Amino acid sequence: MTKENICIIYGGKSAEHDISILTAQSVINAMDKEKYAVDTIYITNEGEWIKGPAITNKIEDAEVLRLMSSESVSLTEMLSQSTTGQAYDALFPLLHGPNGEDGTIQGLFEVLDLPYVGNGVLAASSSMDKLVMKQLFANRGLPQLPYVSFLRSEFEKYRTNILELIDNKLEYPVFVKPANLGSSVGISKCNDREELIKGIEEALQFDRKLVVEQGVSAREIEVAVLGNDHPETTLPGEVVKDVAFYDYKAKYKDGKVKLAIPADISEETAETLRNMAVEAFKATDCSGLVRADFFVTEDETIYINETNAMPGFTKFSMYPLLWENMNVSYSELITRLIELAKERYTEKKKIKYKMD
């Protein structure tokens, strides 16, 4: 059987660089090597692109994926020609955060007319920007918590006014979030004005645009979405925390977070969450994969928090585990995402780019 050529792209000029490497290790190890010939491209923290060798064996240590500079190859050649000398059937970007999950690299693939896994430019960029995402959700009628958003330059000029606006519009605790980062990087839970100021100063190190959101006493429930024009959803799962706030350290270093799959909620609430996940998927014109995150209060009032266009994707992450609960294995999920990428690329080829 002739193998399909797939290129895994990981690393990236992002605060989530290390997470991307772990994701790449997990995906590469789970891919069906009888079906796919697997190449790699590593993007360093400085933004250098390095083509790696074909991978045929299991990667035991993720550190081997931190490739060193080799012979110079043009970016176009790197992306268009596999180590077998054939064109890639699909590129598989496993990049989290800016310069990878935000539509920038997707735009590059579109310009070069290459098939790739995951969301397109609009979906990736709007799902990455929390403010734009909230505005699209509002247009779709999805319920959200109150929030305030501002730029670094605005805070520098109107600091007192913005702090007063937050105090008047929201109630403590509030969450301060960089608008364009994931994995809880730069996010702070703030219980008073002093903590708010510290949280804003921390978040402004990671982005020029912030969102300050009303806190709520609620469970964190997530739904995985898979597909293109006709997406499927999983039963909801719950993030069960042993800490007050599910931050980067709790997620990736302390192991103080457990996942309950499926979540212990009523069938009616589960169905509502699944329907809302599809609405959120469509609101940002998504394709491939999305994880939709919700808050569910004690009386089962639902608020959408966000969608993640490139969710955590190691075999122990919520997204793959939600599908495993639906009897879709991690390896099969990877295969389906590649098939969806080729399907979308074929569909795009039907578009006319010149008049007869």
How many Cβ atoms sit within 10 Å of the Cβ of residue 18? Answer: 16
Active site residue 329: no
Give the structural domain span for 81. Answer: 4-116
Q: Is residue 112 a contact partner of residue 27, using CB atoms and an 8 Å limit?
A: no
Is 152 buried (19+), middle (13-18) or exposed (0-12) by CB count in 10 A?
middle
Q: What is the CATH number of the domain that holds 303?
A: 3.30.470.20
Helix (H) or strand (E) holding 108: helix 104-111
Q: How far apart are CA 113 and CA 141, in angstroms?
A: 35
54 is a domain residue? yes
Whether 173 maps to a domain, the answer reads yes
pLDDT digits (tens, 9 = 90+) for 275-289: 999 999 999 999 999
Say whether pLDDT at 153 is over 60.
Answer: yes
The answer, as to whether pTM is greater than 0.85, is yes
pLDDT at 323 > cutoff 80: yes
Residues 23, 90, single domain; the answer is yes
Number of other CB atoms surrounding residue 258 within 10 Å: 10
Write the CA distances from 336 to 33, 45, 55, 91, 350, integer angstroms.
15, 30, 20, 14, 22
3-state secondary structure of 222: strand
pLDDT on residue 254: 45
Q: Do 165 and 106 lie in a common domain?
A: no
Q: Which residues, other chains included, contact 251 with Cβ-Cβ below 8 Å and sequence gap of 6+?
A: 183, 184, 257, 312
CATH number at residue 35: 3.40.50.20
Question: In the predicted model, what is the mean pLDDT of residues 34-42?
Answer: 95
How does pLDDT run across 10-25, given as a tens digit for each residue? 999 887 899 999 999 9
Closest CA to 98 of 152, 47, 24, 27: 47
Binding-site residue numbers for ATP are 130, 175-177, 183-184, 213-220, 305-306
- Same-domain pairing of 253 and 343: yes
Same-domain check for residues 137 and 188: no
Number of compact structural domains in the chain: 3
**Vertex 316, ends 272 and 92: CA angle to 5°?**
90
Range of weakest confidence among 119-133, 172-186, 246-260:
246-260
Q: Which of 14, 20, 126, 183 is catalytic?
A: 183
Average pLDDT of the chain, as a whole number = 91
CATH number at residue 189: 3.30.1490.20
230 and 322 part of one domain: yes
- Domain's final residue, options 214, 235, 264: 214
Instruction: Give the whole-number percent of the chain exceeding pLDDT 70.
Output: 93
**Would residue 232 show up in a list of annotated catalytic residues for this protein?**
no
Q: Which amino acid is at 310?
A: M
Buried b (16+ CB within 10 A) or exposed e, 32-43: eeeebbbbbbbb
Q: Largest Cα–Cα distance of the chain, in whole Å?
A: 67
Binding-site residues sit at 130, 175-177, 183-184, 213-220, 293, 305-306, 308
